[in-house]
Structure 1
Amino acid sequence: MSEILAEYYRHLFNGSPFAIIGTDGQGVIVSWNRSAEGIFHSEPSRMLGRHLAEIVPPEQRSLFHAALEQAVTSKQPADFEIEQSNKQGQKQILAGVITPIIDDQDQILGLATWISDITRRKNLEIKLAQTEKIASLGTLASGVAHHFNNIMGGVATFVDFALNSDNPQASRRALQMTAEAANRVAEITQSLLTFAEKDARQFDLSDLTEVLLTFSHLVERPLAEKNIKLELHMQGVPIFEVPGSRMHQVLGNLLDNAEHALPRGGTVAIDLQRQDEQLVLRFSDNGFGIEPKDLPHIFEPFYTTRGVSGGGDQTCAGLGLSVVHGVVRELGGNIDVASRLGKGTTFTIRFCLPQKS
C-alpha cells in the first residue's frame, strides 16, 4: 500500500502544471518537478543542491530575497513575480508563492515554492486594456466635439456681434468673451494632453508629506474665504517621493471637485497614513455627495454632473477626475471613491511602498 501511495504522490508531484520546488530549511533545493524543468530549462541533476535564489535572474534577486525573508520571518506564504527569457529569447513572466513547511513544534522544516507561467494572462490583460482604451475613444471624441461646438458657437456669435456693432464698449465686451472662450479651449486641450500622455515634468521628485504641506498652505486662506475649513492629518508616514507638479495637479482637481460639493461651506480633510506596506491618502469633503448612478462613471473622460452635459456651467469639461485617475495610475497607485448623498465624498489613493533590499 505504501508503494502505491508513494507512486501516486510522485505522479501528483510531476504531473502538476505548476513548477514545484522543495528546499530544506536553508533554502537548498531538494526536489524539482517536471514543470520546473520545463519553465527553467534545467534538469533536476543540475538544480538539486543549489540555492533557491539561483532560479532568479541576478538583477531581480533583491525582490525575491525580500519575499523569501517574508515567508521565513512570518511563517506565512509570500508572493513574488519575476521575469526571464524563454528558449526563443522572448520575455516570460512568472508568478509564484513561497510556502514554509512547519513541523509540530512550529519550526520551519523547509520551503515549498509553487511557480506558474502567467505570460499569456499578462498579454491578454494588456490587449484588454488596449481594447477598453479604443472603446473609450468614441466617448472622448464625442465629448471633445460637444464642448468645442458649444464654445466655438459662442465665439462665432461674439465675433459677429463685434463686427456689426457700432458700440465700442459692447464690441470690446464681445471680444473679451471671445478671448475667454479661447482660453477654455486651451484648458481643455491641456487637460486632454495630460489625460493622454506622460509629462516630462513628472520627474521633479518631492516627498509626499512636503507636497501636502505646501498645497495646504497655498489653499488654506482661499478656502477660508469660502467658509471651507481645511484639515490635514499625517501620522507615521515614511518618506515617499512623487513628482511634485503632478501631485499638485491631482490635489487641485480633487479640491475643485470638493469645492463644487460645498457651495455653502464645510470641511475638506486630507489624511495620509501608512497601512502595512501601503501609503494611503484620503481626500474627503462633507458636501452633498455623488449620486449612486454617477459613481461608476466618475473617472470617465468628459463625464460630468456640472458642465454642459450635466446641466451646469459650460466651463466644466469633465476632465478633472479623469486626469486624477490617469496621473495616479501613471505614478503606480490606484484610486477609488466612496460617497453618500448628504454626507460627503472620499477619494482614496493607495501607493505601494518600495520593498527594502
Structure 2
Amino acid sequence: MTDVKDSNEPLCRHLCQGLEMALVVVDREMRVLMMNPAVKKIMAVDHLKGIGSPVRELFPPERREQVGHLLEQTLRDGVSAEFDFWSHNPSDHAAYLIGVISPIKDDMGALVGASIVVSDTTQRVELLRQMADLRKMSALGSMAGAVAHHFNNLLGGVLTTIDFAQSSDDPQALKRALRISSAALTRANELTRDLLVFAEGDRMPSAQVRIIDIVKSFVECFSHGLDNPRIILEKELQPVEDMYPDRPLRTVLKILAANACEAMPLGGKIRLELTKEGREVCLRFADNGPGILREHISQVLEPFFTAKQQNANLSKEPTGMGLAVAHGIIRNLGGVITLNSRPGEGTVCMIRLPATEQ
C-alpha cells in the first residue's frame, strides 16, 4: 500500500513551485532550507543561490532586524507574525510586499522551522490610494459646493438689500438694510470661523482646567439654561484630574447638547459620563432621540452635512458645521470623536482624549 504522506509529496512540491507568492522555508537557526521560483519574481532574489544563507539577507537592510525578531518569536512561541516592506523588482519598480511568518511543526508537535510567505500587494495599495483620492476629491467638491451655496445666499441677500436701499430715500429703509446686511455678514464670519476651527482646531488662548471641573460647570449651565423642561440630564462623572483647555471643550459639549435637544423637541434623556481608561480620558454623550440613519453616520462629522430640515424649532438655517467644529477641536487636542447610532434608538458620541496626568 502507498503511504498517504508519500503520495502527497509530489502534490506539495508542485504546489510550492507553482505558487504565485514567494515561499521561503527556514530551520531553527533561521537559515534558508527552500525557496520557490516566485521568490525571484517578487523579491528579486535568486531562489537557487540563497539556499543555506541567513534568511535576513533576503530582505532590505532596514527590515532585517524586524524580520529576525519576528522569526525568533515564531520559533520560540509558535505564533504567526506579519510584516510589510518596500522592495524593488528586477525592472526597478517599487513594490509593496506583505510577509507572513508561520511556525512549522513535526509529527510530535515540536517546532522545527518556519515558513515565510511574501505577496505583492502593490496593485491593491495603489487601488486603495486611488479610492482615497476619489473620496477626498468628492468631499472637497461637496464642501466647495456647500461653501458656495451658503455664501451665495448670504451675499445675494446683502446685494439685494443694498440695491433696494440705494433706490429709496426712506431713512428707515436704510437702517433696515444696514441691519440685514450686518446680520448676513456676521453669519458669514461665523461660517468662516467654523471652517478654520474644523481645519486647525480652536487656536485661541484658553486656560487649562481640570476636565471634571469643565464638565461640572457645563452641566450646571446646561441645567439652568434648558429651554425644554421635558429633557432630563443624567450624569456619572469620575473625579478625573487631567487638564485641558477650557473653552474648546465647553464648545464641544455645547454643540453635542444643542444637537441632542434639537433632535428631541418632545423631550427625552441625555446621559453624560466621564471616565479614565488607562492612558485615555473618555467622555460619553448619549441621548435617546430618533437616532441617525446608517448611511449618514460616515458623513455627520463632515463640514456642511446636515440631515436637519428648517422648521419652527430652529432659529436659522442649519449649516451642518456643529459636529465638524467639534471634530476639529477634538482632533487638534490629539483625541478622537466617534458616533454610534441606530434609527429609533438614540445616538452615542464617544470622545477619547490622551491623558495629561499619570
Please give the range of the TM-score, normalised by the shorter of the 2 chains.
0.5 to 0.7
Amino acid at match of 2:147: V
Give the TM-score normalised by the residue count of structure 2.
0.68
- Larger CA deviation: 131-140 vs 305-314: 305-314
Which residue of the partner structure matches residue 87 of structure 2?
84
CA distance in 1, matches of 2:142, 2:211: 33
- Residue 334 and residue 229 in structure 1: after superposition, are their counterparts in 2 closer, same or farther (change >3 A)? closer
CA deviations 1:89-120 (Å, max 9, x no partner) are: 44321122222234566543322222111111
Task: Give the match for residue 133 of structure 1.
Answer: 136
Letter in structure 1 aligned against 2:316? Q
Using structure 1 for the length normalisation, give the TM-score.
0.68
* CA positional deviation for 1:150: 3.0
Tell me if 1:149 matches 2:152. yes
Q: Which residue of 2 aligns with 1:266?
A: 270
Equivalences for residues 48-127 of structure 1 within 5 A: 48-60=51-63, 64=67, 68=71, 71=74, 75-103=78-106, 107-127=110-130
* Number of aligned positions between the proteins: 333
Which residue in 2 is equivalent to 1:318?
A: 320
Shift of 1:260: 4.3
- Farther-moved stretch of structure 1 (106-115 vs 42-51): 42-51
Please list, as runs of the form range in 1=range in 2, the aligned pairs for 1:234-313 lying within 5 A after superposition: 257-258=259-260, 260-261=262-263, 266-270=270-274, 273=277, 283-292=284-293, 295-296=296-297, 297-306=299-308, 308=310, 312-313=314-315
Task: Report SS of the residue matched to 2:307.
Answer: coil
The CA distance in 1 between the partners of 2:73 and 2:322, in whole Å, is 40
SS at match of 1:21: strand
| 1:266 CA displacement | 2.6
Q: Measured at CA, do residues 184 and 200 of structure 1 come closer, stay the same or move farther in structure 2, by a change above 3 Å? A: closer
> How many percent identity over aligned positions?
27
Say if 1:307 and 1:316, in contact at 8 Å, map to a contact too.
yes
* Structure number with bigger Rg: 2
Classify the secondary structure of the residue corresponding to 2:171. coil
Q: Which residue does 1:207 correspond to in 2?
A: none
Q: Report if aligned partners of 1:184, 1:315 keep a CA contact under 8 Å in 2.
A: no
Q: 1:162 to 1:283 in 2, by over 3 A?
A: farther
Superposed, 1:168-179 pairs within 5 Å as 171=175, 175=178, 178-179=181-182
> Which ranges of structure 1 fall in alignment gaps of 5 or more residues?
203-209, 352-357
Does residue 20 (structure 1) correspond to residue 23 (structure 2)? The answer is: yes
Q: Name structure 2 gaps, 5 residues minimum.
A: 204-208, 227-232, 354-358
The root-mean-square deviation of aligned C-alpha atoms, in Å, is 5.0
Name the counterpart of 1:166: 171
In the superposition, relative to structure 1, how do residues 327 and 267 fare at CA in structure 2: closer, same or farther (>3 Å)? Answer: closer
Secondary structure of the corresponding residue to residue 43 of structure 1 = coil
**Which residue of 2 is the match for residue 205 of structure 1?**
none
Query: One-letter code of the match for 1:166?
Result: P
